[in-house]
Amino acid sequence: MFDRIKQAQQRAARAGRRVLLWFMAAAITLVVLFVGVVVYQLTTYQPDPPPLANCEAEQLVTLDSNSAEVRLYQCERGNPTSWQGYEVWLHEPASGDWQRMLTAPSEACLQLQANNATNVTLFHQGTRGALNLAEPVFIYENTAGVSATLVVDIEALETTGECASSESDNTSNRAGR
């Protein structure tokens, strides 16, 4: 009788150890994944803003009494250069903050147009699938210290061929090219 009880206790202890090992393996796996994600975000998730990278200014759109700027750049990234294309960034001059809005290959031929203080349209050539929009709506702090939003619309250009700049009252076109 006591032998059966002892065997049952041993089986329960072995099963408990197996379950504990499974939980430890799952915990270790989750910790490794978490550390990998944190390292990725700290090293490559957000690239250097254009002033620190190999980027050339293409177009500038000023929003909401100069509290934010949407900037279009032609950039080369990687060492040696492994990617070339357009990047659109939201810049807050008062705080110096940068938010990358969109990346696109060089063939996309991007142009910016501010429709009002809360809406910017990005015109492109080629396929919509080649554009990588980070978010459809961006939040920034205006000069009054109040949060404001910027909605991004994307439309195809009707023209083909040479990339031409758009004309707008609040747009500086093709700076430095």
The sign one gets for the Cα dihedral 139, 116, 67, 103 is positive
Which residue ranges make up each domain of the chain? 1-45, 50-173
Under a CB-based contact definition with an 8 Å cutoff, are residues 140 and 150 in contact? Answer: yes
User: 48-103, pLDDT tens digit by residue?
Assistant: 788 888 899 999 998 877 788 999 999 988 777 788 889 999 998 888 889 999 98
Number of neighbouring beta carbons within 10 Å of residue 49: 18
Give the residues across from 102 on adjacent strands: 88, 133
Phi, psi of 21 (to 5 degrees): -65, -40
Helices and strands of the chain, counted as H and E runs: 1, 10
pTM greater than the 0.75 cutoff: no
- Token pair for residue 157? 């250009």
